[in-house]
Structure 1
């Protein structure tokens, strides 16, 4: 599912006030981290993740790795933070946003 620019803009505005729910630090992006983010994104649909300065990954690299592993969309990358989105099959909170 590719997001249009209007959908992406609406999701960016929704994520603007959110705090990061995960931090990627010095260690690898391993299966435990991927599973934790997968569970969180399944519950919330839209999450923000922060990459710490001591991480070996840039925010873009980490976002690309997680998007490929979790089959989700990267909405935005700014500085050391990025936003991921994966729409639920039923009862999505962002149905109105994505209908535009």
Structure 2
């Protein structure tokens, strides 16, 4: 579970990122979960765009992605979902320590 300080740090890190996945009319499926999981292993922090033609609510999309990938939800802002998962092989981000 991320602390408020860690989420604030991750939001700042994600600010300059562009969304690399889009959830459209088909919604979230197993193939998308697999691709997001692989991208999280490579990058740790991702933005996912929920398009207007998506039939699922953005909160549901965020929940499905975080459960499927075992990632942490950093924030939902507008139609953008930001997720984080610590990488085993390619550790890039150093989160603030919990006191």
Q: Please give the TM-score of this superposition, normalised by the length of structure 2.
A: 0.92
**Residue 91 (structure 1) shift:** 5.1
Q: Which residue pairs with 2:43 in the alignment?
A: 44
Extract unaligned runs of 5+ from structure 2. Answer: none
Extract unaligned runs of 5+ from structure 1. Answer: none
**Residue 90 (structure 1) shift:** 4.9
Give SS of 1:98's match.
coil
Q: Which protein has greater RCO, CA pairs closer than 8 Å, 6+ apart?
A: 2
For 1:86 and 1:98, how far apart are their aligned partners in 2? Answer: 15
Count residues in correspondence.
Answer: 98
Could you list the runs of 4 or more consecutive aligned residues of structure 1 that deviate by over 4 angstroms after TM superposition?
Answer: none
In structure 2, relative to structure 1, the CA distance for the partners of 1:80 and 1:21 (3 Å cut) is: same
For 2:68 and 2:26, how far apart are their aligned partners in 1? Answer: 17
